[in-house]
Amino acid sequence: MLKPIKVVFYFSSILFCAQQSYGQQSKSLSGFIRDSISGENIIGALVRNDTEKKSTASNKYGFFSLSLRGEEAFLEVSSMGYRTKVLPVQIGKDSTYIVQLVPEENQLAEVVVTGNKRKSIKDLTPGLTQFSPREIEKVPVLFGEKDILKTIQLFPGVTSGGEGSSNFYVRGGGGDQNLILLDEAPVYNSSHLFGFFSTFNSDAIKDVNFYKGGVPAQYGGKISSVMEITTLDGNNQHFNVEGGLGLIASRLKVEGPIQKGKSSFMISGRRTYADLFLKLSSDENIKKSALFFYDLNAKLNYRINDKNTLYLSGYFGKDAMAYHDLFDFNWGNATGTMRWNHVWNNRLFSNTTLIFSKFNYQVKIEDDNNFKIRSDIFNYNFKQDFQYSLSDSHNLKFGLQAALQEIRPASIEAGEDSKVNSLHIQKRKGLDIAAYISDDWAINDKFKLNYGVRATAYAALGPGMFYTYDNAGEAVDSTYVGNGEMGKKYVYLEPRLSLNYALNELTTLKASYNKNVQYLHQLSNTTSSLPTDQYVLSNNTIKPQLSTQYSLGYFRNFASNRYEFSVEGYYRDLKNQIDYRNGADLQANELLDGELLFGKGRAYGIEWFIKKRLGRLSGWISYTLSKSERQFDQINDGQWFNARQDKIHNIAVVAQYQLNPRWNLSANFVYYTGDAVTMPAGKYFVDDRTIFYYDKRNGQRMPAYHRLDLAATYDIKRTKNTYSSLSFGIYNAYNRKNAYLIDFREKEGQSNVTEIYRIALFGTIPSITWNFKF
C-alpha cells in the first residue's frame, strides 16, 4: 500500500521543485468562459495567446488558467458554435476573468479558417472524441430518439452490441469495461427496455468526452473506455422550456434562473407511453399490465461568488414491466452528486465531489409461487481534484479518490404460503482508493506530452465468507472476514502517457501508452445484456482485470481545416478476463466464484476516420479493421478463440445536408461483421429430443449487419431563443432483416428434422417527432 503512494509523493516533489525554478519566471491568469445568453459554462473552449504560442482549454466547469511571461497580452477565446472573442488581459492580477462568448447566429455559414491558427484542443489528446449533443442532433436514430450511446457507435473503435443490447465495445474490450459517468456519478445500467433506448436524455446533456485510449490519470475504474457526460447547468438568465413529442416517448426540459446570474436549475424528464396503448385493450389482464420507462435529470447550481460554485445534480430512472398480477419486473438507477468548485488563485483550481449512485432490480411473482427477488448495488464516492498551472509549459492535475462499493446479490423473499424458500446471499463490499498526478507538458511548439500515474489500492471488505476453489471449481477452504476488516488487497500503478508531435500546422502524430485496472465486474452469459446480470467485486479468487494499451496515430487536417483525417492503430493486452464454466449456475449461488474461469485476451486494430466539418454537406466516414480474441485453459481446449464481440469490419457513414434554411436532410449507413458465435457442428438424439453438438467456441459468424437510416428535419420556426421543428425519420430504410439471433430447433411435429431460424428485431420503422423550445 505504501510504495505507490511514495512514488506519487516523489513525483509531485520533483514537480514542485521545478515550480520553484520555473514558476517565478511566468505569471498566470485565470477565469471562466460562459455562454453570453444562457450563462452556461463552456467546456473545452480554446484560450490562446498567439505571441507566446501558448494555449489551454477550459475545463468541465468552464475554468481556464494560462501562464504567460509578459505583463499584458491578448487572449483569443474560441469554441465551436460561438463567435471567437479577442480580449486584452493583464497577467498576474488576482482577479478572475469572466469571458462571455456569443453563440453564432447563423451556424450554417462556412467559416474558413486560415492556415497558421487553430488546432482544436481535441487534437491534443489521442483517443479522445469530444462532442456536444448539438453536433449529433441531426443524426437519425431509432424511433426518432436522440441517443448518445447509439451515436458513439458510429465512431471508429466502438462497436455495437447489436439491436436490443445496450452494450457497446471499445477496441475489443468487454461490455462491462466502459466507465460511464453522468456528472461524475458512475451509471450502472445505461439502457432502458433491454437496450432499445439509452438512459441519457440528450436534452439535459451539455458535453460528452469519450476516451478509448490515452485515458488521463484522473480516470480509473474500468479498462476499456471512459464516457464522461456533463449535464447542462441551467440557464441562469431566462426561463425556457424545451421538449419533443414522439411516437414512442416524449420529453420535456424546464430550466431557468433562481437568482438571475447567480443560480439556476434544470429539470428534464422523458417517458414512454407504450403502456397507455395497453389500457385500450379489451382484455382485462392486458389492461392491468404495464410497460414503461422514465428518466429524470435535475440540476441545481449556485455561484456563491467569483471563486466558488456549488452544484447539485441527480438522475432517477426506472423501467417497469408488469403483466396483470402475474409478474412485476422493474429496475432503475439513481445518482446524486454534490460538487464544490474553488478557485484558490490564478494557478490553482479545485473540485470536491461527493457522489452516491445505485442500481437495483426487483422481480415480484404473485401467482402460486408468491415471492420477491431484489438485488442492489451502491456506490459512495469522494473525489478531490486539483488543477495547477505550474508554469507556462506545465499544467498539473492531481487528486485523490475514494470509493466504497456495496453489492447485495439477488435475494429471495418468500411470501406467505410461498412455494419457495427465502434465500439470502451475503452482500459484498469493496474499498477502492486512488491517487493520481499528471502533467500536461508543452515541451516546445511541436511536442506536447501528457504523462502521469495513477496509484490504486483496493481491498475486499467484510463482513463475509471468502472461499478458495480448486481447479474443478469445488470450494476447498473458507475464511471469514469480519465487519470493517479487510480481505484480499490489490495495489497497482497505472502509468498513463500520451504524446503529440506536430509535424506542421496541419499534421500531428500521436502515441499513447496506458495501463488500466478494474475491480468491479459484470457477469453475463446471455446474448443481450439483462438488467439482472450480476456484479461481482474482486477478491481472493477474482483478480482485477488489467489492460495495457499502445496506440499510434497520424492526424491531418485538409483544405483549411475543413476536413479532418486520421488513421490510428492500437494493440491491447488483457489479463484476468472472466468467462464461465459449462452449465455455470450464476444465480443465488453462494459459491458463485467457483463457476468462473479466468484467462487472457488481446485486441488490435486500425481505425480510419475522415470528417467534413463545415459546409452544407457535412459528416464523417469511419472504418475499423480489428480483431479481439481470448484464451482460457478450460475453454476451447485452451486454444485462442474469437471474443463474441470481435468484428473484423466496422463501417459507419454519417452525412447531413442543409438543403435550405428550413430543411435539413441526414442519413447514416452502418455495416459490420456479425458476432462470433458458437453453432452446432452436428447432432444426436436422446429421449425424442435433438441434442446439438458444439465444437469450436465462437467459431462461426452471424450474418453481416447493415442498415440505412434517413431523416429530414423541417424548421417550422427558429429564432435566437425559440424553435419549433418537425423531424421525420425512417429507421432501416431498406428493411434489412438483420439477425438478432439464429437458433436451431426441431421441426414442428418432426423431432428428428432440424430447422434453422432467425429472429430479426426491427424492420423499417418510421417516426415523427415534434421538437420545440420556448
Which residues from 303-332 bind other proteins, rule CB under 8 A? 321, 327, 329
- Choose one: 30-38, 125-133, 249-257, 750-758; the region binding other proteins (CB under 8 A): 750-758
Pick out residues in 385-444 that bind other proteins (CB under 8 A): 410, 412, 419-421, 423
User: CB 693 → other proteins: shortest distance, Å?
Assistant: 5
CA distance linking residue 191 with residue 153, whole number of Å: 14
The tally of CA atoms less than 13 A away on the side-chain side of residue 251 is 26
Q: Does 582 bind other proteins (CB under 8 A)?
A: yes
Question: For residues 396 and 368, is the Cβ–Cβ distance under 8 A?
Answer: no
State the nearest-atom distance from the C-beta of 329 to other proteins, in Å. 6
Q: How far is the CB of 373 from other proteins (least distance, A)?
A: 6
Site for other proteins, residues 690 to 749, rule: CB under 8 A: 691-695, 697-700, 737, 740-746, 748
282 vs 444, which CB is nearer to other proteins?
A: 282
Q: Is 662 in the site for other proteins (CB under 8 A)?
A: no
- Residue closer to other proteins (CB basis): 208 or 643: 643
Task: Verify binding: residue 525, other proteins, rule CB under 8 A.
Answer: yes
Could you tell me which of 661, 662, 628 has the C-alpha nearest to residue 645? 628
Nearer to other proteins, 397 or 697 (CB): 697
Cα–Cα distance between 757 and 753 in angstroms, integer? Answer: 13
Q: Is 105 in the site for other proteins (CB under 8 A)?
A: no
Q: Least distance in Å: CB of 595 to other proteins? A: 12
680 binds other proteins (CB under 8 A): yes
Which lies closer to other proteins via its Cβ, residue 35 or residue 579? 579
* CA-based nearest residue to 311, from 320, 319, 300: 300
- Which CB, 61 or 361, lies closer to other proteins? 361
Which residues lie across from 388 on neighbouring strands? Answer: 348, 396
- Choosing from 108, 402, 588, 704, the residue that interacts with other proteins (CB under 8 A) is 588
Q: How far is the CB of 154 from other proteins (least distance, A)?
A: 24
Q: Which residues contact 140 (CB under 8 A, 6 or more apart)?
A: 666, 667, 668, 709, 710, 711, 729, 730, 731
**Strand 447-461 and strand 464-469: pairing?**
unpaired
Pick the binder of other proteins from 21, 282, 483, 682 (CB under 8 A).
Answer: 682
* Binding status of residue 528 toward other proteins by CB under 8 A: yes
Nearest distance from C-beta of residue 707 to other proteins, angstroms: 15
User: Considering only CA atoms, which of 169, 160, 249, 154 is closest in space to residue 202?
Assistant: 249
- Cβ proximity to other proteins, 30 vs 177, nearer residue: 177
**Which is nearer to other proteins, 194 or 469 (by Cβ)?**
194
- Establish whether the linkage from the previous residue to 140 is cis, with ω within 30° of 0: no
CA-only gyration radius of the chain, Å? 27
Task: Please tell me whether residue 683 binds other proteins under the rule CB under 8 A.
Answer: yes
Q: Given phi > 0 = left and psi -120 to 50 = alpha, else beta, which region is 472?
A: alpha
| Choice between 96 and 527, CB closer to other proteins | 527
Question: 674: number of CA atoms within 13 Å, CB side?
Answer: 17
Q: Tell me, what amino acid is at 213?
A: G
| Angle of CA points 664, 200, 318, to nearest 5° | 135
Whichever of 375 and 541 has its CB closer to other proteins, that residue is 375
299-317 burial, b at 16+ Cβ within 10 Å, e below that, comes to bbbbbeeebebebebbbeb
Q: Which is closer to other proteins, CB of 3 or CB of 745?
A: 745
Q: Is 279 in the site for other proteins (CB under 8 A)?
A: no
Amino acid letter, residue 163:
E
Cα 325 to Cα 5: distance, rounded to the nearest angstrom: 56
Which of 583, 660, 719, 720 is in the footprint of other proteins by CB under 8 A? 583
Nearer to other proteins, 542 or 586 (CB): 586
Q: Which of 74, 447, 685, 714 binds other proteins (CB under 8 A)?
A: 685
Cβ–Cβ under 8 Å, residues 239 and 260:
no
State how far Cα 742 lies from the chain centre.
Answer: 29
Nearest to 761 by CA among 193, 322, 176: 193
The values of phi and psi at residue 544, to 5°, are -65, 145
For 135-197, give the secondary structure using H, E and C: HHCCCCCHHHCCCHHHHHCCCCCEEECCCCCCCEEECCCCCCCEEEEECCEECCCCEEHHHCE
To the nearest whole angstrom, how small is the minimum distance from the Cβ of residue 114 to other proteins?
A: 53
Nearer to other proteins (CB atom), residue 386 or residue 632: 632
Place of cell 472573442: 85
* Interface segment toward other proteins; rule CB under 8 A; list 207-215, 230-238, 302-310, 672-680: 672-680
Could you tell me the smallest distance in angstroms from the CB atom of residue 602 to other proteins?
19
Which CB sits closer to other proteins, 484 or 682?
Answer: 682
Of residues 100 and 587, the one with the C-beta less far from other proteins:
587
Alpha-carbon dihedral sign for residues 521, 525, 527, 528: negative
Could you tell me how many residues of this chain bind other proteins (CB under 8 A)? 75
Distances (CA, A) of 7 to 196, 384, 450, 494: 46, 19, 18, 12
Footprint (CB under 8 A) of other proteins, residues 145-164 = 164
The answer to whether residue 287 forms part of the interface with other proteins (CB under 8 A) is no
**Which position among 638, 661, 763, 766 is part of the footprint of other proteins (CB under 8 A)?**
763
Spell out, one character per residue from 339 to 368, where the chain touches other proteins: x when CB under 8 A holds, - when not: ------------------------x-x--x
Burial class (CB in 10 A: 0-12, 13-18, 19+), 752: exposed
CB of 529 to other proteins, least distance (A): 10
760 binds other proteins (CB under 8 A): yes
Q: Smallest distance from the beta carbon of 477 to other proteins, in angstroms?
A: 21
